[in-house]
Amino acid sequence: MREIIFDTETTGLDNKADRVIEIGGIELLNHFPTGRTFHVYINPGDRKVHPDALAVHGITDEFLKDKPLFADIVSDLQEFFDGAKWIAHNATFDMGFINAEFERLGLAPVPSDMVVDTLALARRKHPMGPNSLDALCRRYGIDNSHRTKHGALLDSELLAEVYIEMLGGRQAAFGLTTIETRRNQSSEVDDVIEISYDRPRPLAPRLAATEVEGHAKLVTRLGGKALWAKYDG
């Protein structure tokens, strides 16, 4: 299963008027980072960065002047995300901006069943919160001390670590757990559902008492000749 953990930075909060100015993404394959990333800064045209947004991410109008327009990077963006789940923290916000940019170019929106919101997952796992990215980093012992400002690629890297931990950590791929997405009727994105197939109780032993006894006698006869004896004790 291929997933892209991503984040955006924008000129403001209104996706009808404000624009995307940074996108960062981390590729996961079966919940493990592949090392492939996507990162781009984007010129928002005549839309200026709102002071409140500037205080959050620190990306200035001057810095963005020579960056490509969204239309110039959209094919690279679509190629990187093609066929993968779009996974973001508070994904409704990010997808609102991405789909607004697509709409301006006459492109189809990202299907809602291809989007997963890690904030919804966190709220279900930790209903008492808090569930901001910083709070989840603290909860899972992920170092975010270098996060002095929001940044799309940095936040994607941190969220990838958080997401893996929420799904059971780096050993999750070896467990009998499947990950599904199901429609959240109160939002535009899917929730992640963990379904565990761990047995509620161990299976009863299948060896008869005579077989166990016979094995013990064999081990005794082998004594020091047993292959594993040099590792014993």
Tell me, letter by letter, the H, E, C secondary structure of 123-161.
HHHCCCCCCCHHHHHHHCCCCCCCCCCCCHHHHHHHHHH
For tokens 């109008």, name the residue.
Answer: 61
Instruction: Provide the strand spans (E) within 58-210.
Output: 85-88, 115-117, 177-183, 190-196
Q: Compute CA 6 distance to the chain's CA centroid, rounded to the nearest angstrom.
A: 8
Q: Residue 150 catalytic? A: yes
- Of the candidates 50, 126, 150, 215, the residue annotated as catalytic is 150
Amino acid identity at 11: T
Q: How far apart are CA 82 and CA 73, in angstroms?
A: 14
Catalytic positions: 150
